[in-house]
Structure 1
């Protein structure tokens, strides 16, 4: 039993030494690169909501208006692959007025809704498209996102900027510490690409006002680890 205890202590000590020897030494820094671009596409979620006494009437009214909206998308040359039904529902509408007794709420009608996601690849069509679908009965606006169709070149530039930023930080730290940078021994990336710029949900009313697209940031983050050069 004593032999086993001694062996365990020796093994634990050896493991501690091994971990200590493998602990990284040097300078570790992170850098970020950002490239700002004007968006060249947008994704919108628009829909129709209708109420009627009968479930069939609510659904029929909704379907009729959605069909008219799809016809407008055809007229504006929005490809079939750039539109998709993203929500469809039919639910009862209850009488929510206060009641003196404990009787269950009464169904007073039905509400039907249909939502379509549309990708607009020509932003000059965005304003006219919104005006057209509102005219055909679209009364729900569930989001507008601006994005990029291709961010590959911007991401390359952002990565280069991130590496340059990290190397500059490492040089500053080494200079402040009075040491010299050695070889680059490790590099990792945690890039996010670009995040779509989104407008919050709102009830659709009028789209006569101009739409400001702004800019989208394509970002990259890297972490570099350098050795510290030993004094000669």
Structure 2
């Protein structure tokens, strides 16, 4: 008797649970939105690297070079809030063949230059003052968040248009969005910096630009599930 009651209870619960599940007609589509803009600022990561056999002398030489670099950056009227020391290191390097220890000192400064007209002068000056390694040059937009928002809106519109095209032949309509997944990416063009110079003079004395800034492409990709009416 108890087994029969238990069986009927389980069967009733299963039937009730099955009645509660409703199949919702959905269409799943992907949408893409792209916004291309000209950069209005550049982020530069540059390093002074010094090597030698005496740790104290290596550090002193490296500090002197970086001090000259920072003074030059200030001379270029770059606000103090737009540049900072990113990394400082002094590491021993042991040569097992010669059985000698040498030292490598590095200091990295990160600069955000908001006046692109000063780019060539700044880069050449950095090298002249002691920078011997350009780690990264990234052209960016100060209005990135605004353009990301625009790209997302375009991506959502693209998804809805696709969904409407698919279901129009079935005589159905696209209803509310059921689920939305977003994955946005930003592309920063990184130019080649040949021989640490940004321009060269030809035989006629004219300036030939060797750097193409390009455009920033902000892309938004969304996956949307729409309810079908």
TM-score range, shorter chain: 0.7 to 0.9
2:190 matches 1:188: no
Contact 1:139 1:205 in 2 (8 A): no
- TM-aligned CA distance change 1:112 to 1:8, over 3 Å: farther
What's the CA shift for 1:228? 2.8
- TM-aligned CA distance change 1:180 to 1:66, over 3 Å: same
In the alignment, which residue of structure 2 is the partner of 1:208?
198
- TM-aligned CA distance change 1:12 to 1:94, over 3 Å: farther
Secondary structure of the residue aligned to 2:142 is coil
Contact 2:123 2:198 in 1 (8 A): no
Within-5 A mapping of 1:1-232: 2=3, 3-4=5-6, 7-8=9-10, 10-18=12-20, 20-21=21-22, 23-97=23-97, 106-176=99-169, 178-186=170-178, 188=180, 190-192=182-184, 194-198=186-190, 205-209=195-199, 210-229=210-229
RMSD (Å), alpha carbons: 2.6
CA distance in 2, matches of 1:152, 1:77: 27
Residue correspondences, number: 217
Secondary structure of the residue aligned to 1:115 is strand
- TM-aligned CA distance change 1:174 to 1:95, over 3 Å: same
- TM-aligned CA distance change 1:152 to 1:93, over 3 Å: closer
Contact 1:27 1:227 in 2 (8 A): yes
Runs (5+) with no aligned partner, structure 1: 98-104
